[in-house]
Structures are given as structure tokens and as C-alpha cells.
Structure 1
Amino acid sequence: MGEARVSVVVPSRGGAARLPVLFEALTKQDFADPWEVVVVLDGVVDESAQVIDRYAEQLPIRCIELDYNMGRSAALNAGFAEATGDILVRCDDDLVPSISYLSLHATAHRAGPVGAVGLYRNVYPDNSYARAYGRDWDVRFRQQAYSTPSDQRWRYWAGNVSVSRDTWASVGPYDTSFRSYGWEDVDWGYRLHRLGIPVVLEPELETVHRIAATTTVTRSQRAFYAGAAKRHFEKKHDVSPSASGSGAWNSIVRVAASRLNEPGVSKVARVVDSLTNRLPPGAARKLIALSVESAATAGYAKASNEGLI
């Protein structure tokens, strides 16, 4: 395989059911230049390699298999090290790219060095969590992101982003010390920002995301371990902790968090999920928010940076 114009790097673990949807979307791309997909299997735990083999004739695809679960940062680094493209795209294995996905990522870099971000358009099952909280949160998240000052947009570096090869070399690899859930992306975006390279949110690059956190339980568990990753980020960069506020809501969150540990987060969230269908929408939304926010606060104080990788 020769050099590509665009390389799409896909970190994956246990993705045999997710990868075909991504691959089908990539077979429909309108991009005319050479491109490639580099899939990194972070430990072999299912039939993902066989799925990749089935698409080898339809896609310019390569597979890297790590010997064991080394974490998302290590998987990304392995993929980017093997990529040949001038434009390097990070694409999570649960995305459903549009027909112009590659063209839009390539176009974003024509005017000079930037970090291009496409926000997620999360797709939820029709359950009580989605109706009471998830879908509304998703809309508000995107609205907030687009209104964020340009010098703070590094916070949205995530699983649908791209940079030039030269920019990647300047920033360096993802930090493998982020072993808990999340923040390895935010860390990379922050390092990009510190080099003076603008991070831009491209509305046209919003991409359907088949989100995994579809219940209060899964969302709260991830929030708990993301709290530990946030603590690790702040310590690494000597960043002052974000103020939690002094209002009544923040006081309630802090009190709830003080009584939570890892098993308690899951136990409380299961109760919340069981109650959501029985409560008025406003009350259900508040209860889910309390579960998620108190889990994040508890995780910041108590969780290990090794959890839920």
C-alpha cells in the first residue's frame, strides 16, 4: 500500500459488532484521493480481526493487534505510528460517518495548522434514561460547545478529530499514563492548544455516535472514573481544580458524593434507573443529573486512575 492522503485511525476493543457499521459508512466515502483505515485492536477479545478481513477487499484497511489490553492511548499511538497520511483522523469504532467525512476532515486543514473537531450526535435507544436526560443533555452539550471561547475549545478533543502529520509530530503521542476512563483526549487537545494551534469545531463534521452510555448506571460509572482521570490531568499540568460552586445544587452534589464509593455509585444509579419511568420528566432529569454529577465528584476524590479502561 502506498502513501495515503488521509489516514483514519480506529482504536477498538471488543468491537466486532460495532466495526461493520463503521466500515459500511466508510465504503460510501466521496473522497477521491488515496486514503487508508488503520484499525488497532487493543487486545484480541472477539472476532474483530475476522470482521476486518471481510472488508479487506472493499476498504484500504490495515489491522494492528496489540498483545493485551494496553489502553486507548497506547492503541492510538500504535495506529498513528503506522499511518502514512498527510492528514490523520481519529475515529472511534462506534461512529457512523457521513459520505463526506473524509473530504470534510481534509478540507479543514487547507488554510493552515488546526485541530479539527467534529462533535458527536449521540443515538440512544428509546428508554427512560434517553427520554428523561440523555437526548436533552446531548443537545445542550453541543450548544454549549459552540458557544465556548476559542481558547477553551481544546476541552472538546475527543473521538472524531484530525490534525496534519506535522502537527501530530509537534504535539507528540497520547499520554499512556491516562489509564482511567477519559481525559487522554482532553490532555492531547490541551497540549495542542499550548503550542498555539487553534482548535476548531466544525459543524459539518458532527457525526452520528452509537453511544454506549445509555443508562444512568453506565453513565455514572464512567463519570466516576472520569473524575480520577480529571484529577490526573490537573496534577500533570498543575491546573487549579475547577470550582464546584456554592449554590444549593452544588452543595447537594457534594454531600451525595461524600457518601459514595465505586460500588455505591452503581447501586444508586440502578435505583435511579428503576425510578425514572415513574417520576415526572423534570424530577427524573434532576435525579439522573444528581447521580452522574455526584459520581464524578466522588470519583475525583476516590477513584483509581486504572479503572474502566
Structure 2
Amino acid sequence: MSEPSQRPVASIVIPSFRGAERLPLLLDALADQQQGTPEFEVIVVIDGVDDGSVALLARERRLTLRTIQFPENRGRVAALNAGFEAAWGQVLIRCDDDLVPRPDYVAGHVTRHEGALCGVVGLYLNVYESSRYSEVYGYDADERFRRDAYAGNPTLGWRYWAGNCSVTRETWQRIGGYDPRYQLYGWEDIDFGYRLFLAGIPVVLLAELETPHRVAAVTTHIRAKRAAHSAAARRLFEAKFDDHPLPPAVPPWSAWNALVRGMAITLRRNPARAGHLADRVIPALPRPLAKKIVALVVESAAVAGYRYPHLAIERF
């Protein structure tokens, strides 16, 4: 497709893998942006599996939309880089396909870039299907995460770079794309955020850009899997940036952390089994005990993923 005679103000890049069930709500939300929203385009990158997404996107007439389809699955990093490289806008917004943006979403991202140079992050408002996991752990963990994020050192905002964020085109060209070496779950985001920090570009968290997120981690098993994969991916980040200011991956000694470390040894060959077992037993347990069980499995899976990356992730 040739470049338009007048570029849009913003480009929204959406990486999507098997997203046919998620995309309709997202497209509806983007089509319902408030009056006066700056002109924007939408670029959906289909990561190698067409589950009906291609036809769904071809029928979309409300949005200025382009589709990039990979012939095979190449991963989220490749999808993001392809989408941003194809973008024509001045403000480049990443929006994962499980988000449901509010009517001021695009305007909020664009407006913040009219001042000083920065990266912009809107935190997730995770929306769960009703489950014992979400009751005893999920919602509490999310609320604590957001509370700590806003209360933390503003210079560490780069740690929260994720699926609802934006930079200007000039910043993207200066920093470069997401690092394709990240193939497991997570840390390509923190890597990008840290490169912004090293370049002297602050990352700001905007509470008004918090966005509902139809979270995929709806069981202890899925949450533990992601914790193990993310912890294993952290090793690449640490190899690149040995002077990073992050807290240690393995928690300091305490009675609880001793239990976590010990459980991590047990889980190193099959953390999936512990996640499945927790999901079976927590419906029958009182809430405080169930919460502790989930926390133990998730935190232990993270330590196992970091200390024994090849063993911990191969059985998921």
C-alpha cells in the first residue's frame, strides 16, 4: 500500500495471535473513540495463524485499517516490529488485542506527546472470568501491582512498559525496535523501557489511560507458567544490562522466601503439575489459605524459571 498524501497523527499497532474472538471488542472500542479524536490508523499484525481474523478484518469499514499477515508464527516481537516499521503516524501506540480502550484512549496518548519527550504507559485493569483463582489471588495481586506502580520512584516507570504504551516516531527511530532475541513470555517490554531510560527519555504512567484488559492468566497453572517463562527471559536482560537497578530475581532470606526457594527446587522439573494441583484444591480451601497456596506456586515457579530455565519451562 502506498503512503497516504496526509499521514495520520497516530498509528495503533496490534499484534495478534489467534485473536478472532478478541478483536471484535477491540475494533468496536477503537471505532467508538470520542469526537475530536486525532486522525489515526490501525495496523493489525496477524502472527501466522489465521483463525478467521483475516476475514474479520477485511469486513471492517469503520476504521482506517491495514493488515500484515505472517505466513508462519514468528512471535510477538516480530509482529510488533513489523507493525511499527509499517506505521505512518507521528505517535506510535501499542495496543494488544485483548484490550478494550475507552473513548479517550487515542486522544490521551496523543495529547501527552505534545509536551516534553517521553514514553507513555497506561496500566492494565485486568478483567477476569469468575474463578476461585481470581477471587483469592488475581484481583488482589492486580490492585497491589497498580498501587505499587504509582507509589514508586517515578524514574523507574520504564519497568511497566507493556501492551498499552506509546512513543513518537522520532523516539522509535532513535531507540530501535524490540529485541528479537526475546522468545519467551515477557521482558522484551522491560528491555525497550530500559533503553528509553538509558537514552534519557522518561516513562510516565498515566492513570487516565488505564485500560480494561481481558486477562489470559485465569488459573494458577497459566500464571505459574508465565512466571517461569518470564523469569527465564530475565536472564537475557541481565546479560545485556549488567548495571540494571532491578531488585534481585531470587528473593532475600525470610521464612516465607525460604519456603519459596525450597519449593522452587521441587518445581524445577515440572512446575505445571503444581499449578494444576493448586487449581484443583483451592476451591475447597478457605480464602486466606487458598491465597497463600497460589502465591507459593507462582513465586516458586518464578524462582525455578530463573534458576533452572531449561528444566522449568520445558514441561509447560
| Pairwise TM-score range, normalised by the shorter structure | over 0.9
**Residue 257 of structure 1 corresponds to which residue in structure 2?**
264
SS of residue paired to 2:284: coil
Identity of aligned residues (%): 47
Q: How far did 1:32 drift?
A: 3.4
Q: 3-state DSSP class of the match of 1:158?
A: coil
Match in the other structure for 1:54: 59
Aligned counterpart in structure 2 of residue 140 of structure 1, from 141, 144, 148: 144
CA distance in 2, matches of 1:67, 1:44: 8
SS of 1:10's partner is strand
**Higher mean C-alpha deviation, range 238-247 or range 63-72:** 238-247
Per-residue deviation, 1:261: 3.0
Q: CA deviation at 1:125?
A: 1.1
- Of 269, 281, 292, which residue of structure 2 is paired with 1:275? 281
Q: Is the 8 A contact 1:90 1:159 kept in 2?
A: yes
CA distance in 2, matches of 1:256, 1:160: 34
CA-based RMSD: 1.7
Q: Which residues in structure 2 correspond to 1:64-213 (within 5 Å)?
A: 64-213=68-217
State how far apart, in whole Å, the 1-side matches of 2:50 and 2:313 are: 19
Whether 1:39 and 2:44 are equivalent positions in the alignment is yes
1:306 deviates by 8.8
1:245 matched to which residue of 2? 252
What amino acid does structure 1 have at the position aligned with 2:19? G
* Partners of 1:180 and 1:307 within 8 A in 2: no
TM-score (norm 2): 0.94
The match for 1:289 is 295
8 Å CA contact 1:181–1:308 kept in 2: the answer is: no
Partner Cα separation in structure 2 for residue 307 and residue 11 of structure 1: 25
The one-letter amino acid of 2:106's match is L
User: How far 1:49 moved relative to its partner?
Assistant: 0.8
* SS at 1:259 equivalent: helix
Cα 1:136–1:16, aligned 2, differ >3 Å: closer, same or farther? same
The DSSP-based 3-state class of the residue aligned with 1:90 is strand
Greater Cα offset, 68-77 or 299-308 = 299-308
Instruction: Say whether the 8 Å CA contact 1:179–1:306 is kept in structure 2.
Output: no
For the residue of structure 2 that corresponds to 1:40, the secondary structure is strand
Q: 1:307 to 1:42 in 2, by over 3 A?
A: farther
In structure 1, distance between residues paired with 2:56 and 2:242: 43
2: CA distance between counterparts of 1:126 and 1:308?
Answer: 27
Q: Deviations over 1:17-58 (max 9, x none)?
A: 000110010010124332100011111241111111121x11
SS at match of 1:177: coil
What one-letter code is carried by the residue in structure 2 that aligns with 1:293?
E
Deviation of residue 269 (structure 1)?
0.8
Q: Are the aligned partners of 2:38 and 2:106 in contact in 1 as well (CA < 8 Å)?
A: no
* Equivalent position of 1:5 in the other structure: 9
